Amino acid sequence: MQFLPELTLLGAGLIVFIISLGKTSADTTRNVAIGLGTTVFVATLLSFSQTGRLFYDAYQVDLYSQVFKTLIAGAMLIVLIFGGNLKGIDNSVRPEYYLFLFMSVLGLMMLVSSVELLSIFVALELSSFAVYIMVPMRDDSGNLRFQMEAGIKYLLFGVTATGFMLFGMSYMYGLTGSTQLSVVIEKLSLMYSQPVAVIAMVMVLAGFFYKLAIFPFHFWVPDVYEGASNETTAFIASVPKLAAVALLIRLVSLINQEGQVIVNVLMVCAVLSMFYGNLSALVQKDIKRMLGFSGIAHAGFVLLGILTFQITGYANALYYIIGYVVMNLACFLVICTVSQKGENVMIEDLSGLYKRSPLMAFSLAVGLFALAGIPPFVGFMGKFMILTSALKEGYLILVILAAINTAIAIFYYLSVVRVTFCSDPEDRVTINSSMLTNATSIILLLVIVIMGVTPQRFVDFASTAVQTIM
Amino acid sequence: MDQLLFNPDYPYILSILIFLPLAGGLLLLFIKNDDFARYWALGITALTAIISIPLVVAFDTSTSKYQFVEQVSWVKSLNIQYVIGIDGISILLVMLTTLIMPLCVLASWTYIKTRVQAFMVCLLIMETAMLGVFMALDFVLFYILWEAMLIPMYLLIGIWGGPRRIYASIKFFLYTLAGSVMLLVAIIWLYIYNGYSFFIPDMMWQNYSSTAQILLFLAFFLAFAIKVPMFPFHTWLPAAHVEAPTAGSVILASVLLKMGTYGFLRFAIPITPEATMTLAPYILWLSIAGIIYGGFTALAQHDMKKLIAYSSVGHMGFVTLGIFVLNTSGVEGAILQMLNHGITTGALFLCIGMIYERTHSRELSSATGVGKYMPIYVTFLTFFSLSSFGFPATNSFIGEFLILAGTFEYSIPLALAAIPGAVLAAAYMLRMLQKIVWGGTDNPDQSWLNDLNVREIITLSPFLFFVFWIGLGAQPFIDLIHVSVANLLDNYHAFHGQAIAVTDLILH
């Protein structure tokens, strides 16, 4: 039972692999994939209350990891549903695409349970390598080859970040003589006066900064977001971030007061992420690129919550990233639906969406206003609670800088809403969306509003989850 | 919690007022029928207005406590409460909002022809947010509603507005949002300083350090001055007013602008009294600048909506002037003038909307000489114009008189500087009135214009009624606000008395 979600994913991968050997119609493949996604989600729910340790204590199953597994499975299911038609992927490789998707999710699920350096590394690589292949799998219609460029960039940056991380891990092992996270952190916490311990920690964090796209490991974001197919981008933009935050909290929660240098590093990264992301997003024309840059800024906010080093701060960061994933998925759902043949969506392509598809326009508006942090949506509550917990720790300057960023960010979100609602569709086609997509978007909107209006239950739950790993 | 007064006779009345329009708006989402949307929105807003009447009847004018209070814990871990209540400072604004909304629906009856359902949903959500802002006694609740209001207002301007609506709506949104981000930081700072409480009355009259007060005040000032709008933060206002549909302009002028001045009274003065004392002279002179600037600019306008918009800058300058002289007549006059401006300017925007519906032009030159063909219309317009420049026996006279009386008490040069504003107001309003009623020898042919129909007369009549009621018998209104204002000023002076006593103690 403890390993059920991972086993289900593995089985799902095998089934898709068998499908890939024969010739099946696109519809069958999609239905099988959605069915398997649902099964995985159910499996995570079934093993929700499991606890225990596996594989010689390298693998820990607790409330914290199970919450994240459920979230990851849920986010994957949503991506599978609205990206079901895989408009951007050639029909012949669709089963393989799903295979890699499931493998990547398997890696992420293993990641949130890993409490040992080597298993962290293996899980992280499993999740990354699958995505490295998913990015260039995009259909090269119109002889556009930027998906190849994106794939190479993603790979090179990924490998570099992993290199940093491995190097940091080797230092950690050298300093502490163990690869068990609990032992490593305990011994390391006595050594923060030595520069080498700080360097080791920062280098290991770099691997997760890369996944979460925090400055200065964000350079892959715009090109990969643009080059990958819409469905792949939706996946990259949401699911891995959940796992990255999970591991960041696991690592950082064990830094004690001595690690002030690391705190300073995190602060600088957070502020630079916010400014870099928001200022770059201002001038984007491709909505995926824009969301990519906005994702960098949001990662900065999450980091702000994490560096309070309080349970409330971690719980707020957790709440924030869940909210972020939901808002982001709502936006990507619209992008995938608006895109007719899997092409990239420019902001001006959304013109008059209000007339072409009222529900999609509404979802996009709510998603963007939520990302911008306008109440009563989840984005505001998340931002508000993170700012509150940061100010409680006395980071006044940081809070002011973050608040200024909110003001900058509103402009680019608003200009998309403007195009959607206030401009003429001219001769753009009407958007037809399936009932399943419509239902998913309504569910996402409800989650955005409910999480924003009644945050108490969610934060309490997040605190309980975080408490289990302290 | 001794500042709260629960009225068991009217449980949940404020919550009903807040949530009835919201519920109505959400239900309306499911019914796609233009005519139904109009009647439904009218019904809901009228019902809200009727339900709000007991507030005035049962309002206890002998206490400065918050009345009709409701208190529920909302987010426990952060100690955010859903706590609402009204006092003398907010009651008139609440009443103004509830009473003006049905008239806004009436004014949009034929003006809005496309997407009627969505328009009415926006109006209803606006009403919820506006009422909530005036009632909220928890700072986070206040901030949430204050920000949430931007979305429906943005859509009102951006979808149903005039030709430059996109520019105007974005400018409106950005200005207001950028102004209030520092307010958020200030709120969190106050929360932490006050032992993790967002309860507004707890934050008042505390001994924050001077630097903190100045910084807090500046954060408040940026948010509220943009909303008022005070010179030089006013540039979003003409754009937004001109492009907004009539109902949007009325809501903007009558209610939204009042939130800025309400913010000064509710937050800036009680929370940062020392900074208020230090910075009041600068704000007073900014107000004078606004009055003179608004007057001169209005004098030069050819666009009627712009003219009224700039006159708003001047009128709101009078309100901030009254607030920051910090004496009874000044503050009472300011609150009364907030109400008056809501009535008069709202009515003027309605009048201009009515002529725009006929001629499809806001140009003054294309509306000249309609007096002969629209006698009922110009009668209304005349009274509202007279009221706008504070003609005796109309409502604005009382308000401006009180404000100027307060200003004379405070400083004679300041009052003398404000006088030209009153003269300018007469100049630009009479210029507009003269052109619309009589015009000149080159009037366009207006003989095809129809006079007001019954719906339009019904829309304007309540405004006229209040113009004369307040103009001839303002006492009931002043009674409503008097105790709260007196309490505010007593606390303010007591705070400074205390501060002086402490200084004396240290010096001797």
The secondary structure of residue A347, as a DSSP letter, is G
Chain A nearest C-alpha distance from B30 (Å): 12
Q: Which residues does chain B have within 8 Å of residue A459's beta carbon, measured at their own beta carbons?
A: 75, 77
Chain B interface, mutation test: which of A318, A417, A419, A466, most B Cβ atoms within 10 Å?
A417
Complex ipTM, two decimals? 0.88
For residue A442, the one-letter residue type is I
Q: Which residues does chain B have within 8 Å of residue A456's beta carbon, measured at their own beta carbons?
A: 74-77
> Which residue from A462, A281, A284, A246 is spatially nearest to A372, judged by alpha carbons?
A281
Indicate the pLDDT class of residue A85, thresholds 50, 70 and 90: confident
pLDDT surpassing 90 at residue A20: no
Which chain B residues touch A if contact means CB-CB below 8 Å? 74-78, 140, 143-145, 147-148, 150-151, 154-155, 158-159, 165-166, 169-170, 173-174, 177-178, 181-182, 184-185, 188-189, 191-192
First to last CA, chain B: 37
Give the three-class secondary structure for B169: helix
The secondary structure of residue B252, as a DSSP letter, is I
Contact A403 B165 (CB under 8 A): no
A283: its two tokens:
């001038």
Chain A nearest C-alpha distance from B168 (Å): 11
Chain B interface, mutation test: which of A405, A410, A449, most B Cβ atoms within 10 Å?
A410
pLDDT at B29: 85
Angle at B95 between CA B287 and CA B56, to 5 degrees: 120
Distance CA B435, CA B367 (A): 8
Distance CA A123, CA A43 (A): 20
Nearest chain B alpha carbon to A424: B159
pLDDT at A321: 92
pLDDT at A459: 87
Distance CA A380, CA A432 (A): 31
B76, B148, B178 member nearest A456 (Cβ)? B76
Chain A interface, mutation test: which of B32, B138, B144, B164, most A Cβ atoms within 10 Å?
B144
Indicate the pLDDT class of residue A142, thresholds 50, 70 and 90: low
pLDDT at B98: 93
Q: Which residues contact B395 (CB under 8 A, 6 or more apart)?
A: B336, B339, B340, B343, B344, B387, B466, B467, B468, B469, B470, B471, B474
Contact B185 A422 (CB under 8 A): no
Q: Which residues does chain A have within 8 Å of residue B178's beta carbon, measured at their own beta carbons?
A: 407, 410
Chain A nearest C-alpha distance from B239 (Å): 16
Q: Which residues does chain A have within 8 Å of residue B181's beta carbon, measured at their own beta carbons?
A: 403-404, 406-407
pLDDT at A143: 61
Contact A391 B74 (CB under 8 A): no
Q: Which residues does chain B have within 8 Å of residue A410's beta carbon, measured at their own beta carbons?
A: 173-174, 177-178
Q: At A331, phi and psi to the nearest 5?
A: -70, -45
Distance CA B75, CA A148 (A): 48
Distance CA A79, CA B322 (A): 58
User: Residues B239, B151: contact at Cβ < 8 Å?
Assistant: no
For residue A359, the one-letter residue type is L
- Work out the number of other CB atoms within 10 angstroms of the CB of residue A435: 7
Q: Which residues of chain B have pLDDT under 50?
A: none
A461: its two tokens:
């739950």
Q: At B428, phi and psi to the nearest 5?
A: -75, -30
Instruction: Report the range of poorest mean pLDDT among A52-61, A95-104, B36-45, B146-155.
Output: A52-61
pLDDT at B221: 92
CB pairs under 8 A between A and B: 85
Domain boundaries, chain B: 13-507
Nearest chain B alpha carbon to A411: B174
Q: Which residues does chain A have within 8 Å of residue B191's beta carbon, measured at their own beta carbons?
A: 388
Q: Which residues does chain A have within 8 Å of residue B148's beta carbon, measured at their own beta carbons?
A: 374-376
pLDDT at B262: 92
Q: Which residues does chain B have within 8 Å of residue A376's beta carbon, measured at their own beta carbons?
A: 144, 148
pLDDT surpassing 90 at residue A446: yes
Chain B interface, mutation test: which of A388, A453, A454, most B Cβ atoms within 10 Å?
A388
Chain B nearest C-alpha distance from A440 (Å): 18
Distance CA A340, CA A351 (A): 15
Using CA atoms, how far residue A379 sits from A330, A406, B136, in Å, is 13, 11, 21
What's the pLDDT tens digit per position in A381-394? Answer: 999 999 988 888 88
Contact B169 A418 (CB under 8 A): yes
pTM, rounded to two decimals? 0.91
Instruction: Report the range of poorest mean pLDDT among A161-170, A458-467, B139-148, B308-317.
Output: A458-467
User: Residues B311, B298: contact at Cβ < 8 Å?
Assistant: yes
pLDDT at A199: 87
Contact B166 A403 (CB under 8 A): no
The secondary structure of residue A138, as a DSSP letter, is B
Chain A interface, mutation test: which of B22, B74, B77, B197, most A Cβ atoms within 10 Å?
B77
In sequence order, which ranges of A346-429 are alpha helices (DSSP H)?
A: 353-356, 358-372, 378-392, 396-422
B88-107 helix and B475-507 helix, angle to the nearest 10 degrees: 140
What's the pLDDT tens digit per position in A201-243? Answer: 888 888 888 888 888 888 888 888 888 888 889 999 988 899 9
Distance of CA A409 to the CA centre of its chain: 19
The secondary structure of residue A24, as a DSSP letter, is -
